[in-house]
A = this chain, B = another copy of it.
Amino acid sequence: MLTPFTHFYPYSIKLSSKGFDGLKEYVDKRCNFDEVYILLDENIREFCYPFLIGSCPAFSEAKIIQISSGENFKSIESCKIIWDELTKNQASRNGVLINLGGGVICDLGGFAASTFKRGIDFINIPTTLLSMVDASAGGKLGLDYQHLKNQVGLFNNPQAIFINPNFLRTLPKTELLSGFAEVIKHALVADKAYWEAIESTSVAQIKWKEVIEKSIEIKSKIVHKDPGEKNERKKLNFGHTIGHALESYSLTINTRMALLHGEAVAIGMIIESYLSYKKTGLSHEELDKISSYIKSLFNLVVFPKKSFNNLYEFMLNDKKNKKGEVNFTLLNSIGKSKIGISCKKEEIKDAFEYYSNIVV
C-alpha cells in the first residue's frame, strides 16, 4: 500500500521528489511487466521516460504506446491508437496502463483503459503542473469531440497516482503557468488564505511540492462530497465555462496558436469574476485584485468582437448547462463560490467587454 497524503480519494496519491516508491511493488502484485503498457507522447519519451526507467529499471520491459503531443490529439483517433495497440498485444484484463504525461495523456489514457475490455487498471504519473494539481486526480476522463472539450468521457478512478515534482524542471514556463491557473482557481473558489499566500509570492519563489499538496487537498475535499458533479463539484468549474469556450474556439481557428488550457482558464476567471461582481456580490476591490494578479502573470490575448457569437455557441454546449441556458460558478468573495448561476447572453457580452478594456 502506498502512503496516501489525503484521505478523500478512494485511491492512493504518492507525492515524492525521490522517485516512484511503491510503483514496482504494485505492478509486481498485479501482473508481469510484459502486461504493463506506458502511454506517452514524443516529448515525454525524450524528457521524462528516461527518468522513469532510470528510477525503475523493470519498466524497460513495458510496452510503449506513443501518441502525438498536444490538445488537438486528445481525440477519438488517438484513443483508437491505444485500443489498437492493446488489442494487437492481446492485452488481458490484468494489464495495466501507465499514463506518463500531462492532462491529455491522463484524461485520454484513463478513458481508453476504462473502456478497453470494459476496463483495465490505469496509473497516472503526471509530468506537468496542470496534471499534478488537477487532471490526474478526480476521475474525470475523456476526449474532445466535434471541437468540444471532453464531449466524450466518463468518471473513473486510477488505481494510484505517483507525483514527482522534479518533472516540473522539464516544463516550459508557459506550461508551468498553464497549470498555475488551476492553483489560482482552487484558491479563489475555496480558500482565501491560500489566495493571499500565492498572491504575495513571486512565481519563481513558489515551493511547488507544497502548492501541489495544498491544491490536491482542496480539490479532493470537494470531489469527495460530489464525485459525479451534481452539485458541490461544480465549484471547480469557475473560469471554465468561458475558458472551455475560448480553448475550443482557439483550436478551431488555428491549432498551432491554440490557447493552452490554463491560459484560457485565466482569461475565463477574469471574465467570470466580472460576472461575479455583477451577479453574486464580489466586491469591485476583489475584482480588481483578481484581474491585476492574472494580468501580471499571463500573456492575455484579445478576441475580436465578431467572435462573440461563435464563443457563445460553444458555451451553450457546456456540460453544466440545462438546455438553452448558460450556467456559471461565480464568486461571492475571494474564497467563496456559488454554483448554478444562469447568465444572459447580454450579461456575458458585457463581461467580455470588461476583459477587452483591461487588456488593451
Contacts and interface: CB of A to CB of B under 8 A. Distances in A.
Nearest to A84: B146
B323 A35 contact: yes
A90 B317 contact: yes
Given A83-B145, A118-B140, A140-B118, A90 B323 contact: yes
A32 B322 CA distance: 11
Contact of A118 (B84, B153, B321): B153
Contact of A322 (B80, B92, B229, B323): B92
Interface of A: 31-32, 34-35, 76, 80, 83-84, 87, 90-95, 114-119, 140-142, 145-146, 148, 150-155, 229, 316-317, 319-323
A140 B119 CA distance: 11
Nearest to A155: B118
B90 A316 contact: yes
Contacts of A153: 115, 117-118
Given A35-B323, A94-B323, A117-B319, 10 more contacts: A84-B146, A92-B323, A114-B154, A115-B152, A115-B154, A116-B152, A118-B140, A118-B150, A118-B153, A119-B155
Contact of A145 (B31, B87, B145): B87
B323 A117 contact: no
21 contacts: A31-B323, A34-B323, A83-B145, A83-B146, A83-B151, A83-B152, A87-B145, A87-B317, A90-B323, A92-B321, A92-B322, A94-B322, A95-B323, A114-B154, A115-B152, A115-B153, A118-B142, A118-B150, A118-B229, A118-B319, A154-B154
